Chains A and B, each alone.
Chain A
C-alpha cells in the first residue's frame, strides 16, 4: 500500500495526541497565525489561498479564495465567517474527526479566514447530534481565548476575532449554506433564493463567508508552507491538496483516509480501505456522498478529483465513498436514500417537496412488489422535473440515486416489477385516476 504524507490528520495520528492547546502548539500549531496576523495583509492571505487552488470541501468545490474575493471591499459594517460543521451528507464523517481530534487546527484556520475577510465574529454551525464535538470545540475555544488566540486584540496585534459554537438541531438541509444562515438566525432552515449571495447578504444580511470544516483546516498549512507547496499536491491545477475521504459500506476497513486528490477509486477502496469485506465483488459505489450519482466497477479507475468524477457522470461532493458488494439490491439502496431525501426536504419548493413524497411512494411500491412498468417512466420523468427547478441543490441531489440506479441497474427494477406482476400482487388500480 502506498502511503501519503498526512496533512490534516498528521497531529491526530500521533499516538497519544489528544488535541489540547499545548499539544497543538508543540506540533507547530498557531505558527501560521503568528506569522500572518498583522504581518501579512488580509488581501495577501486571500491571494495565497487563491493561488493554492484550495477548493471547498463541503460539496460544491468552489475555489475558496475566489469566494472570499466576492465580499464587498468597501463595506464598513460587520462581516461574518460561518464554519459549516453540519456534516449531514450521508456517507460523510470526516469533519467530526477533524473537530474532535484536533479542534485547534480548525480554530486556527477559522482565525486566518476571519482575518482574511475582515470578520470579527464567527460561528461554528455544528450539527446538533455532535454533542461531544461541540463540547470539545467549546473547551478548545476557551483554551485559545485564555492563550490570547481568540478574543480581543489577538497576540497584541490589535486584531479581534470571536468564535462561538452554534449547535444545529437535526436538519440535513442546514448544511446548505443559506439554510445554515437562516438556522443560525433562529429560523426554520429554509434555503434562501440566490442572488443575493451570502458574500453580500449573508448572516443578518451582512457579508458572510461559509466554509466547510475541512476547507478551513487546510488554511494553517497553506499559510505555513505556501501556496506552491499546496498546489503541488494532488491533481493540479484544478484539484489541489489532499482530501479526507470517508469510506463506508462493504469494505474491510471503513474509515477516514487522507490522500492526495487524484488517486483512483481502486486505490482508495482496495489499498487504503483494505478492499471488500468478504469475497463478494464490488457492485456499485457512491463517490461523493448521498447526493452523488452511483458509479459501477467500470469507474474504479476514475481519479478522485473534481473534474474526473464529474466526467464519469457523478461528483466528488463531500468525499463520502460508499461501497456496495454483489447481492446488494440497488432498488432498495436507491429507496433508502430516497427516504432520506424525503425526510429531509425542507418543503420550500413544490417540485422537491411533492416530488420527494411521490418518488418515495413509487419506490416503496416497487420494492414492496407492487410496481408497474409505467412507474419507471414516471420515476424518470419526475426526477427530470425536479432537477434544476428548485431553490437549492437538494433538488438535483435527491434524484441522483434513482436516476443513476435506473441508468445502471434498470434490469433490477424491471425484474422486481415482473416478479410483482407474476405474483399477481398488484391490486387493480386505475392507471389514470381522474382529477
Chain B
C-alpha cells in the first residue's frame, strides 16, 4: 500500500493542486518508483486517493509511454530512433545493444537486468546517438562508451558517463565528456 508508506509525500503532492485529479501522474510515478511498474493494485489505490474510478486512472496511465504497465528490467535502455538521432547512427546503437545483450527491442534479458526499448525523440538531438537508462541520459554514444555503460550498470548500478546539467556545445573554457 502506497498510502501507508508514503503518506507524507502523497499529502505534499496533493497540496500542489486545487483539483485532486491533477495529482494522478505524480502518483503513478510514485507507484512506478515503488515497484518498477504500475500495478493494478496501485491504480486501484490511486483511484481511491483521488476519488476517481479505476478506469479513469487506467485510461490516463495507458496514454503515456513512460508508465510501464508491465514489469521491465532493472535497467530500461531506451534508445531514441527519431530522425535526428538516426542521422548520426542510432540504428547502429540498437544493433550493438542487440548483439551485446541478445535482446530485441521490447525484450528483457534473462537475468531481468536489461530491457531494450526503442523510443521517439528525447530532446537530445544535437548529442545523438543517445539513450536514456532509467532516469539518466547517455549521449554521443560510441561502442566503447556503450560497453562501459553496460559494464558499470551491471557492476555498480550506475555509470559516470551519464549526462549532468546539459549544455552543448560546452563553453570553450570547461570541456569535459558529455
Binding site for B on A (CB under 8 A): 12-16, 18-19, 78, 87-93, 95-97, 100-101, 121, 127-132, 136, 164, 166-172, 183-189, 204, 246-250, 253-256, 290, 320, 322, 324, 328, 333, 336-337, 339-340, 343-344, 346
Once the chains are docked, how many angstroms separate the CA of A18 from the CA of B165?
A: 9
Once the chains are docked, how many angstroms separate the CA of A170 from the CA of B64?
A: 5
Contact of A186 with B84 in the complex, beta carbons under 8 Å: no
Residue of B20, B120, B137 near A172 (CB, 8 A) is: B120
Interface size on B, residues (CB 8 A): 51
Most buried by A among B123, B164, B168: B123
Contact of A248 with B28 in the complex, beta carbons under 8 Å: no
Once the chains are docked, how many angstroms separate the CA of A11 from the CA of B136?
A: 25
B22 touches A (CB below 8 Å): yes
Contact of A132 with B165 in the complex, beta carbons under 8 Å: yes
B132 touches A (CB below 8 Å): yes
Query: What is the distance, in angstroms, from A5's C-beta to the closest C-beta of chain B?
Result: 15
Query: What is the distance, in angstroms, from A3's C-beta to the closest C-beta of chain B?
Result: 12
Query: What is the distance, in angstroms, from B138's C-beta to the closest C-beta of chain A?
Result: 12
Once the chains are docked, how many angstroms separate the CA of A340 from the CA of B120?
A: 6
Contact of A186 with B83 in the complex, beta carbons under 8 Å: no
Contact of B65 with A170 in the complex, beta carbons under 8 Å: yes
B interface majority secondary structure: loop
B124 — which chain A residues lie within 8 A by C-beta? Answer: 93, 96
Which listed segment binds A: B1-9, B97-105, B144-152, B169-177?
B169-177
Excluding A93-B166, A97-B166, A188-B63, 5 further A-B contacts by CB distance (< 8 Å) are A90-B83, A166-B26, A171-B63, A183-B25, A290-B82
B122 touches A (CB below 8 Å): yes
- Closest-by-CB residue of A relative to B46 is A186
Contact of A97 with B167 in the complex, beta carbons under 8 Å: yes
Contact of B121 with A340 in the complex, beta carbons under 8 Å: yes
B71 touches A (CB below 8 Å): no
Residue of A132, A183, A333 near B135 (CB, 8 A) is: A132
3 A-B pairs with least C-beta separation = A186-B24, A169-B64, A170-B66
B169 — which chain A residues lie within 8 A by C-beta? Answer: 253-256
Once the chains are docked, how many angstroms separate the CA of A328 from the CA of B26?
A: 41
Residue of B20, B126, B166 near A248 (CB, 8 A) is: B126
B50 touches A (CB below 8 Å): yes
Contact of A248 with B84 in the complex, beta carbons under 8 Å: yes
Contact of A167 with B60 in the complex, beta carbons under 8 Å: no
Once the chains are docked, how many angstroms separate the CA of A19 from the CA of B165?
A: 10
A185 — which chain B residues lie within 8 A by C-beta? Answer: 19, 21-22
Residue of A12, A91, A128, A250 near B167 (CB, 8 A) is: A12
Contact of B87 with A322 in the complex, beta carbons under 8 Å: yes
Contact of A256 with B59 in the complex, beta carbons under 8 Å: no
Query: What is the distance, in angstroms, from B148's C-beta to the closest C-beta of chain A?
Result: 20
What would be 13 A-B contacts, judged by CB atoms less than 8 Å apart?
A15-B173, A78-B18, A89-B121, A90-B125, A96-B166, A100-B165, A131-B135, A169-B65, A172-B120, A188-B59, A189-B64, A204-B19, A253-B169
